[in-house]
């Protein structure tokens, strides 16, 4: 199992409403490719976690990175994971406030390259008591 995390900046007009509409077909693609993950959106800032087989992820990331609807695509992490943190989601979607987003990006940066550290970050993010849940 592999995971890949990146951040980017939405190009106008990629709004929350646009993303909700676009997520339908993206989820269908992901389900076919057995890709799961989460897409966070915070005032035009995006963080996406993708999980799946390495080949499928790298192929998808090449397409996503070239998508003109966002820019500043920056890979934070790309490595092997023990299992899926978002097994139930062909792509979960959350809007988060900017402070929580910045905190999560920082934690992701710290954990990048260390699967053992990444898993607890994802787990704490998923916990219902978190302010952005």
Alpha-carbon gap, residue 39 to 44, rounded angstroms: 12
Residue corresponding to tokens 């792509």: 91
Residues 58-117 that bind ligand FMN (CB under 6 A): 60, 63-64, 67, 69-70, 91
- Our CB check for ligand FMN shows the closer of 90 and 118 to be 90
- Residue 18 binding ligand FMN, by CB under 6 A: no
| Inter-residue contact 62 to 114 (CB < 8 Å) | no
- Residue 7 binding ligand FMN, by CB under 6 A: no
Phi and psi angles of residue 44, each rounded to the nearest 5 degrees, phi first:
90, -10
Residues 21-60 that bind ligand FMN (CB under 6 A): 25-26, 29-30, 46, 48, 60
Alpha-carbon gap, residue 131 to 13, rounded angstroms: 27
Coil, strand or helix at 53: coil
Q: Give residue number: closest CB to ligand FMN.
A: 29
Binding site for ligand FMN (CB under 6 A): 25-26, 29-30, 46, 48, 60, 63-64, 67, 69-70, 91
């Amino acid at each position: 199992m592999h995971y890949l995390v990146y951040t980017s900046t939405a190009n106008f007009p990629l709004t929350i409403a646009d993303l909700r509409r676009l997520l339908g077909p993206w989820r269908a693609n992901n389900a076919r490719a057995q890709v799961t993950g989460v897409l966070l959106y915070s005032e035009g800032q995006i963080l996406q976690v993708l999980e799946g087989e390495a080949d499928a992820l790298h192929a998808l990331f090449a397409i996503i990175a070239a998508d003109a609807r966002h820019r500043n695509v920056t890979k934070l992490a790309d490595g092997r994971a023990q299992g899926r943190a978002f097994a139930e989601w062909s792509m979960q979607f959350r809007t988060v406030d900017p402070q929580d987003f910045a905190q999560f990006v920082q934690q992701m940066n710290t954990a990048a390259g260390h699967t053992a550290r990444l898993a607890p970050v994802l787990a704490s993010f998923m916990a219902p008591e978190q302010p952005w849940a």
